Amino acid sequence: MTYKSEIGQFGENIACRYLMENKYKIIERNFRQKWGELDIIAKAPDKTLVFVEVKTVRGVEKLHTVNENYNQISAENQLTSVKLAKLQRTASLYANHRLELIDDKKGWQIDLIALTICRKDYVIKHYKNI
């Protein structure tokens, strides 16, 4: 496993734990199609089907030293418009084939969990319905 994939898997594990702590039910992980992948598929506490994209970056020496002048690409900025379009396509396909998971009133959405990791510490940001 490459260093990048190890960091990604570590970030996804943290994201799953965060979601479960916030009463989400994990349905599936790493759903793959030839044009895209869904990192985490979960059911929110309000019954919305949520497709979670996890972006993880390794931070600076101490997390509290991160500021807007630091020359690092944030986890949030790693989600490009091309990647978002692939996510939407893959999520739509999944939702259309798993209609039993869709609540008629809540539907589905795509969320972003952005993680910055520094040694054993991390900062997690959850952006809903991006």
Contact assessment for residue 40 and residue 16, using Cβ atoms and an 8 Å cutoff: yes
**CATH code of the domain containing 114:** 3.40.1350.10
Q: Which residue has the higher pLDDT, 43 or 35?
A: 43
pLDDT at 90: 97
Instruction: Work out the angle at residue 95's Cα, subtended by the Cα atoms of residues 75 and 103, and round it to the nearest 5 degrees.
Output: 100
Give the range of the structural domain holding residue 105, as residue numbers without chain letter: 3-127
Confidence band (pLDDT; 50, 70, 90) for 63? Answer: very low
Q: For residue 123, which of 57, 70, 77, 68 has the smallest C-alpha distance?
A: 57
Number of domains in the chain: 1
